[in-house]
């Protein structure tokens, strides 16, 4: 059963092309941590800017470099059911263990519970690896309700959900109504501790790219029932997480990686990289959290 | 120091006028519980539909009927600083212990941190009872950030904040950056347990109008470090809370009161009361939560 | 029948109190224009920051100073039906010709067509001057649909609607479905020309505080069927309007008044006044539009 | 120079596969109208549900069946610059005359003016057919401001913009600040008439799938300076347009096609088809507009 902390790893670019050597270096560092595995082609992986060919090469490279004990989750969803099935099965063939599949979202007003049930059932029926639902209202503009998740949790190939909103009430409701073996992962470090309190099994955290040990430590402290210590450490994570998700986004996360000994590099266009003022602000935030 | 569970009590109407006898009956029931006190003229009190004269009569009546040990918090805020000060001080004179003051919100796009600091400082300087900031984005369309709350928490007459969003990350951040004696209350039962985990001192919960004992029990279990039991009881509260806040709102809360032995009555126009189908649905939800 | 251009006049403050002498000076200037009348206590009048007592004094003063030919429209609506009726009738007694009544909005998710019909019918039944519905989603967070407006347009005391969104499709739909004698006014200068094309009878325009002649000229050119000239002049208004509504709001409008020979002054707290950079930017915009 | 009325043609499916024979039948009917051309793979073409292979086959088929005088515009944009260039050039090779390119949108909060300028410039530099910017906030959650459009309008390969919001003020502003030969098309029939008044050159209208003659008639009446007649006919279009865009969306548009002698068929999953009540409602709306 899936649990623990996963970073949605960034995709390094040099001259606008994926830098596989830099990727390998990053992974070799993460391999030495207690991270449970990697999410490749999550939102922070700039999946939206990659061609199909690039996506498959990326998965292949991550698989090759990941430690044997690390689980590999690939973000392979898009609005097209056909393409989602096709890409997921190609990803599975080259080593993806799980598929993280975005809620369909283009026709926002029309994506009701029935649409989500239809979409995820059709996909889950035809893919050869287990499906994790990916709910991220900030980017998709849609939110999957607890009721359809309850139904979908009964499908034998739909094993969990990553919830990337900060709405812990929604997370609690999903946990309450889904089957016992359904796994819920928080999708942002700001609610790691409270999400675990609510019953989440772990998290897919952008922050885990730059602070894997601190994220794992919150998780471990919680599981050792050291709640005060867990909450105290969580408090440190919040301002950094706010900077590398809300405020500066992927560009901020990559800049922080560069500052902290990983390879970050520039995000791909049309994302902007940080300017100097933003970079200085980011460094201050990292210092205050004792990461720098 | 403020702590525990407070219901934002509904305002009963008969023939569109406040029914003070029904109010007294409700309060006499709540007096027998372990509720810490009452919020009068919160959102669920339909404060927005009351005239100034009605508001003062309402406070007077609640004060007269409340148990001696019950704290009285009055919702006296509006966009006008002058009127807020004036109404709050009138409320204090007739017995309000604390003032719960809404973030100003009419000019949504212009209400920045500076506006909030200016507003709450001017009000707090001139009112004779302690001020609790009331953040409720669902109704105001604005959200006060943690940074201005941090500054305002240093004002000797601003003692706390009620946060009515389900964003527990925001609550955590506020708790982390505010002064040690600043009190944070969750504003909806859906995040009671996780809010307490994050460090909240209690809650102002619509649900406490109809399920005071269950709400207090979650609070007590948490404080006795019985986390599993607290979370289990919390799970029961979530569907009911969703019905009487999000789905059916004040009309639903009042209908549930009627069903459960309190006086609810109709909401004031322009709010609609529930139709028969909605009422049946609500009863089913109450039954499933073992409240009915 | 109502038509032409109305400024929602700003409320001048000196030392945080209404400066009635400054108000009189502004009005004496506007009296010399072809403005059809004045809206007092519109959004731009900072009505939301005034006490009841201030509101009545304000209406009285505007009435006393307005030219005999100028129509006086007073913004007297709030969520409370009782208070709206009471304030409107007090306003009527001291000279208001029409009441501009906001859609109720506190319980956003619950304000459906039925709520609006109930609210406006109850109010219109009991006020002694004609009612104009005021739809301003930017500030209220709600939008009244065409269907309830169609029904309300049949009420003999509901004579029109001011629509302050830039959605001209919505305006067109309202015009199509309402009764023939129902008056529709655009609520922002950005859609003055296209709104007139769609069939609007005029406009309540913040911009008319500082550029009454240009606004009236667009209206006149349209009515003389000089469409090209109207559209050309309209093009000049758009950047200024954007600055004094969206970008800088009431503070910007007041600053522009100061620059252009009216008395603007500071907005009331919690609104911020412009800083120096913003003021310079505003002056540039006014110059480019040949207003300065 | 681009002008006139274009339908964003629907993509017919039978047993979840593109039905090219049905497509040919629809096109042969549209060929007999005064439509200026076709938009293939617009939002209403359910482009989001198609694989790359299906997209190219679709363009090829539309090209083969379109009348010689009909312009072919293909919707080939996605967040990935690489994939957008590649798909557009493949589309050009098989006959697309123009590319309609969506604003990038996944990282909503980060898509500022600079991002849009970078994205569209990079794409326009490398594609072999002219680029039309496609702004559709309803589906993308982002809105391109007039300022970047002004800059982009100076690029020799960026020839226009389709604006699918109902905000005619935004359209006016874009027209005012863009170069003289920059073409602006309205993106929804609800603002066809007022958009033309504002200076638009035509429209890409879902409604033109089912009512090509009425849409063309509004356009012709406007150009003959018969404004009253144009506005009167426009009034008829509004309720139908509301049903086949906002209310029922693509499923409604396809159902209306079936009712009116075209082949509509079911939308692809996860979109739902209309239920019987919705279909009856739709028929009533079509009757009232004298289309049925």
How far is A116 from chain D, CA to nearest CA, in Å? 7
Say how many C-beta atoms besides its own lie within 10 A of residue C228's C-beta. 9
Q: Does A20 touch chain D (CB under 8 A)?
A: no
Q: Does D20 touch chain A (CB under 8 A)?
A: no
Instruction: Choose, out of A107, A109, A152, A253, the residue to mutate when testing the contact with D (most D CBs < 10 Å).
Output: A107
- Chain D residue numbers with beta carbons less than 8 Å from the beta carbon of C199 are 231
Instruction: Choose, out of A137, A149, A168, the residue to mutate when testing the contact with B (most B CBs < 10 Å).
Output: A168
User: Per-residue pLDDT tens for D83-125?
Assistant: 999 999 999 999 999 999 999 999 999 999 999 999 999 999 9
Contact C194 D198 (CB under 8 A): yes
Contact A51 D83 (CB under 8 A): yes
Contact D51 A80 (CB under 8 A): yes
DSSP code, position D199 = T
Q: How confident is the model at residue B180 (pLDDT cuts 50, 70, 90)?
A: very high
Alpha-helical regions (H) of D112-262: 113-126, 137-140, 146-152, 168-177, 192-198, 212-223, 227-242, 249-259
Of B54, B119, B138, which has the smallest distance from its Cβ to C270's Cβ? B119
Q: Does B166 touch chain A (CB under 8 A)?
A: yes
Q: How confident is the model at residue D246 (pLDDT cuts 50, 70, 90)?
A: confident
How far is C226 from chain B, CA to nearest CA, in Å? 37
User: Per-residue pLDDT tens for D248-289?
Assistant: 999 999 999 999 999 999 999 999 999 999 999 999 999 999
The pLDDT score that the predictor gives to residue B46 is 98
Of A106, A114, A271, which has the smallest distance from its Cβ to D139's Cβ? A106
Contact B194 A227 (CB under 8 A): no
Instruction: Choose, out of A79, A104, A106, A137, the residue to mutate when testing the contact with D (most D CBs < 10 Å).
Output: A106
Residue of D nearest to A81 (CA): D49
The answer on pLDDT for B246 being more than 90 is no
Tell me if C190 sits within 8 A of C166, measured CB to CB: yes
Q: What is the mean pLDDT of chain D?
A: 97
Q: Does A110 touch chain D (CB under 8 A)?
A: yes
Contact B271 C246 (CB under 8 A): no
The residue ranges of chain C whose pLDDT is under 50 are: none
How far is A208 from chain B, CA to nearest CA, in Å? 17
Residue of C nearest to B107 (CA): C139
Residue of C nearest to D200 (CA): C194
The pLDDT score that the predictor gives to residue B245 is 86
Q: Does A104 touch chain D (CB under 8 A)?
A: yes
Chains C–D, number of C-beta pairs less than 8 Å apart: 73
Residue of A nearest to D271 (CA): A115
Q: Does C84 touch chain D (CB under 8 A)?
A: no
In angstroms, rounded to a whole number, what is the distance separating the alpha carbons of residues A184 and A182? 7
Query: DSSP string spanning chain A?
Result: ---EEE-B----EETTEE-HHHHHHHHHHHHTS---EEEESSGGGTGGG--HHHHHHHHHHHHHHS-TT-EEEEE---S-HHHHHHHHHHHHHTT-SEEEEEPP-SSGGG--HHHHHHHHHHHHHH-SS-EEEEE-HHHHS----HHHHHHHTTSTTEEEEEE-SSBHHHHHHHHHHS-TT-EEEESSGGGHHHHHHHT--EEE-GGGGT-HHHHHHHHHHHHTT-HHHHHHHHHHHHHHHHIIIIITHHHHHHHHHHHTTS---PPPTTSPPP-HHHHHHHHHHHHHTT--
State whether the Cα torsion D55-D60-D61-D66 is positive or negative.
positive
How far is C47 from chain B, CA to nearest CA, in Å? 9
The pLDDT score that the predictor gives to residue C245 is 86
Contact B82 C51 (CB under 8 A): yes
Q: How confident is the model at residue D68 (pLDDT cuts 50, 70, 90)?
A: very high
Residue of D nearest to C232 (CA): D176
Of D188, D190, D197, which has the smallest distance from its Cβ to C194's Cβ? D197
Contact D104 A270 (CB under 8 A): yes
Interface chains of chain D (3 or more CB pairs under 8 Å): A, C
Pairing state of beta strands B202-204 and C131-135? unpaired
Contact D169 C176 (CB under 8 A): no
The pLDDT score that the predictor gives to residue C257 is 98
Contact A227 B176 (CB under 8 A): no
User: Per-residue pLDDT tens for B23-71?
Assistant: 999 999 999 999 999 999 999 999 999 999 999 999 999 999 999 999 9
- Chain B residue numbers with beta carbons less than 8 Å from the beta carbon of C118 are 269-270, 272
Residue of A nearest to D108 (CA): A139
Contact B271 C115 (CB under 8 A): yes
Looking at B22, B70, B162, B217, which residue is catalytic?
A: B162
- Chain C residue numbers with beta carbons less than 8 Å from the beta carbon of D222 are none
- Chain C residue numbers with beta carbons less than 8 Å from the beta carbon of B246 are 109
Looking at D162, D217, D232, D247, which residue is catalytic?
A: D162
Alpha-helical regions (H) of C178-248: 192-198, 212-223, 227-242
The residue ranges of chain A whose pLDDT is under 50 are: none
Give the residue-averaged pLDDT of B246-269.
97
Does A162 participate in catalysis according to the annotation? yes
- Chain D residue numbers with beta carbons less than 8 Å from the beta carbon of A81 are 49, 268-270
The pLDDT score that the predictor gives to residue C1 is 85
Contact A176 B235 (CB under 8 A): yes
Tell me if A189 sits within 8 A of A207, measured CB to CB: yes
**Distance between first and last Cα of chain A:** 34
As a whole-number percent, the residues of chain D with pLDDT over 90 amount to 98
Q: How far is CA B33 from CA B232, B264, B292, in A?
A: 21, 18, 18
In angstroms, rounded to a whole number, what is the distance separating the alpha carbons of residues B249 and B232? 24
* ipTM summary value: 0.97
């Amino acid at each position: 059963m899936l649990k623990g902390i996963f970073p949605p790893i960034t995709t390094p670019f040099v001259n606008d092309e994926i830098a596989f050597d830099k990727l390998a270096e990053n992974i070799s560092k993460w391999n030495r941590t207690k991270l449970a595995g990697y999410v490749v082609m999550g939102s922070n992986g700039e999946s939206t800017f990659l061609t199909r060919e690039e996506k498959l090469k990326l998965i292949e490279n991550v698989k090759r470099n990941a430690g044997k004990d690390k689980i590999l989750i690939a973000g392979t969803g898009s609005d097209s059911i056909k393409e989602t099935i096709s890409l997921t099965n190609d990803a599975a063939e080259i080593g993806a263990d799980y598929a993280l599949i975005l809620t369909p979202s283009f026709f926002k007003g029309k994506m009701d519970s029935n649409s989500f049930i239809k979409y995820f059932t059709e996909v889950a029926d035809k893919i050869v690896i287990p499906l994790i639902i990916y709910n991220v209202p900030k980017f998709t503009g849609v939110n999957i309700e607890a009721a359809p998740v309850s139904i979908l949790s009964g499908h034998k190939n739909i094993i969990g959900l990553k919830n990337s909103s900060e709405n812990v009430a929604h997370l609690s409701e999903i946990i309450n109504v889904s089957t016992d073996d359904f796994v819920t992962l928080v999708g942002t470090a700001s609610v790691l501790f409270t999400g675990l309190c609510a019953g989440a099994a772990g998290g897919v955290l952008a922050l885990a790219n730059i602070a894997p040990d601190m994220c794992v430590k919150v998780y471990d402290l919680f599981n050792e029932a050291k709640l005060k210590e867990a909450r105290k450490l969580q408090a440190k994570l919040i301002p950094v997480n706010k900077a590398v998700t809300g405020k500066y986004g992927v560009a901020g996360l990559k800049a922080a990686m560069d500052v902290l000994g990983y390879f970050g590099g520039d995000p791909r266009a049309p994302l902007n990289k940080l300017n100097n003022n933003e970079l200085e602000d980011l460094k201050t935030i990292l210092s205050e959290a004792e990461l720098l």
